[in-house]
Structures are given as C-alpha cells and as structure tokens.
Amino acid sequence: MAKKFGLVLGSGAARGWAHIGVLRAMEECGLRPDVVAGCSVGALVGGAYLLNALEAFEAWARELQPLSAMQAFSFNVARGGLVNTAPAFKAFAGYDRRIETLPVKFGAVAVDLGTGEEVWITEGSVIEAARASSAIPVIFHAVRRERRWLVDGAIANPAPVSLARALGADVVVSVDLNAVPRVLDRFNPPPPHTFPPPVLVSAGEPLPAPETTPLETVTKLIEDTRKLIDQQIEIAKLRARERPHLFETAYAAADIFQMHLARAHAAVSPPDICLEPDMRDALPTAFDRADEFIEEGRRAFLERREEIEELLA
C-alpha cells in the first residue's frame, strides 16, 4: 500500500507566500499530497491549492503593493477585531467547495474564544475554514461557526502535524515559517574574543620556526586587546542609548512565541521532515514581497527533495 503523504502549512501572515513556492516545487517534482493541514495563512494557501485557485491566488499575491492588501478589507470595529476580512475572501467565493467533496483530505486549525480549545475544521466551506483559521486576534474579526467564535489557530498550534496524522498521513512534511524567528539581534551580546589555538608538537619533533619575534607577538597581542576593549565600550555605549521599539518588540515576541509553541508540538507529534524557510527578514505585514518569499519556499522544498522522495518511495 502506498504511503499517504501529508503536507502541513504553518502560520506566518505575509510569510505564507512561501507556501506557494513549496507547492510549486512539489508540483515540479510530480508529487501531490493525500492530506493537507493548514494553520492561518497556511490554511488559506492550502485551501486555494485544493480549490484549483492557486494560480489566481498567486497572481493576486504578486501584484500586491505595501498598502493595497488592506484595500480589499473593511475597517469595522466589531466582533473582536478591527478589520473585516469577508470582502477579501469574497473575491474567491466562486472557487469555494465543501471540504468533504475535495479529492484530498483537508483540515484547518482555529481556536475557540469561548473555551480556549484548539478546533479542527474538517467539514463545511473551505473559504470559511481558512477565514476562521487566519482570524488574527484583535486585528481581524472573529468568525462565527456553529455557535462558536473562532480566531487564528496560530495561538494554539502553528504547524498542525497532529491534525495531518489524524487525517491519515503516514509521511508528514511540515513547513514551519517561524522556525527561524525574527529576533532583535542587535541586542545579542557579541561572541567572546578567541585567540588561535596553540600549535601542538609531538615529542621529539623540532619546534616550528616562529613567524614573528616575541616582541612583535606581544605588541600585536596588546594592540588586538586594545581594539577589542574599544569595540566593547562603543557597543555598550550604543546599547545604553538604544532600546527596542514598540512594533519590532511585538513582531519579535510573536515570532519567538510561535517558535517555542511549534517546537513543543513537534516534540509530541514530530513531522518526518520539517522545512524551515529562512524568513527572519520578513515582517508579517510584508505582503508586497511575494516574489522573494515564493522563491524562498521553493528553495526550501527542493533542498530536501531527495529526502522527501525517499520517504515516499
């Protein structure tokens, strides 16, 4: 019996355009998943793929400018959020189907505001499932579904490998967009200064001829030490004057939170292969950088292509 291939597309807001590149690379390799499990933007891209709307979705993503994405949304302070995403999703309403009718098993992760529990959406409208899974708290409106108010699944399970396994996947490839988080590395202490290791000489061997005189060696050591101290003093002065900014702190904290949350879930339900596109330079709001994000996703998949094909063989 052939192994069932499960693809997990994780959360990441605008970074989710990398999922398009993963899917394109997968198609290039002649692979098609039997199961797709998505969270947040991963549910959105995965849903577009299963609805045969990926080409239209990719064209839309590549045309976005820094502010044009918001023009498709409606600002309305209600239902627990600032922005109503329904108008944007209506643009793809013509592609919508019920999850039960898809040729591939599909599930999206959301969170119940009333209980705090993780919710797996495996039936009903694909578009509504994606909208609930990607309802970022405070920013986007919560979505009403069967007497529940649902929000973004990223606050519970950013890369839902467990859902893919529950849907029957034997081999799971997970795409974790938060594995390489955006941290404020300018506040990271520099590595300690290291000196070259001593030259080891076996007993009986003649000592190598010195390249410099002892006086030159001591002089260089003193000069290097002085430069290092001056550098450390300057770095300390700069850090004393600078503090983390509000929004970059929020971005970094969200990344770090999702990184640890995904790691915790992976410890319990690990994927067979985890693709980790390097998205540390990608703000979650950078919807206008689809070209480079798509290429990064494609690169991440092709880099592990042989391993994936071997597992599925």
- The count of C-alpha atoms lying within 13 angstroms of the C-alpha of 149, restricted to the half-sphere facing its C-beta, is 11
Distance CA 87, CA 105 (A): 27
Q: Compute the distance between CA of residue 276 and CA of residue 266 in angstroms, rounded to an integer.
A: 13
Rounded to 5 degrees, φ, ψ at 273 are -140, 135
> Count of alpha carbons within 13 Å of 269, Cβ hemisphere only?
20
Do 118 and 40 contact (CB within 8 A), yes or no?
A: no
| Active-site entry in 11, 34, 40, 133 | 40
Annotate 81-127 with DSSP letters as a single string. Answer: EEEE-HHHHHTTGGG--BGGGSSSEEEEEEEETTT--EEEE-SSBHH
One of 152, 176, 255, 272 is an active-site residue; which one? Answer: 152
Does 281 participate in catalysis according to the annotation?
no
Q: Is 224 part of the annotated catalytic residue set? A: no
Phi, psi at residue 76, to the nearest 5°?
A: -160, 105
Catalytic residues: 40, 152
